[in-house]
Amino acid sequence: MFLINCPFCGEREQSEFKAGGEAHIIRPKQPSELSDDQWAEYLFMRKNIKGVQFERWNHIHGCRKWFNIVRDTSNDEIKAVYKMGEKPPVG
């Protein structure tokens, strides 16, 4: 169980958080103009990387804020935590 440094509350147990899947997938502004394939790409396609991955997390049993983390899925090392709308601090 890892510790996550919520950008609003500080370091807390993983059990206070909910994972929200891959980060930086932006909801299309004009969905009706997309083809079925383009919409399916947004809707269903997610990466599942062994290694460094960008993820959304929600401090659901805390401040309820969503934020992003950069996590190495091979050893669960969290390389960075940053707020929604911010650019990832590491690549």
Applying CB under 5 A, the residues found at the interface with Zn ion are 6, 8-9, 59, 62-63
Per rule CB under 8 A, is residue 60 in the interface with other proteins?
Answer: yes
> In terms of Cα–Cα distance, which of 57, 68, 84, 78 is closest to 3?
78
Residues 11-50 that bind other proteins (CB under 8 A): 18, 20, 26-27, 30-32, 34, 36, 39-40, 43
Q: Which does 40 bind (CB under 5 to 8 A by kind): other proteins, Zn ion, none?
A: other proteins
Shorter beta-carbon distance to other proteins: residue 47 or 64: 64
3-state secondary structure string, the chain? CCEEEECCCEEEEHHHCEEEEECCCCCCCCHHHCCHHHHHHHHHCCCCCCCEEEEEEECCCCCCCEEEEEEECCCCEEEEEEECCCCCCCC
User: Binding residues for other proteins, per CB under 8 A?
Assistant: 1-3, 18, 20, 26-27, 30-32, 34, 36, 39-40, 43, 56, 58, 60, 64-66, 75-77, 84-85
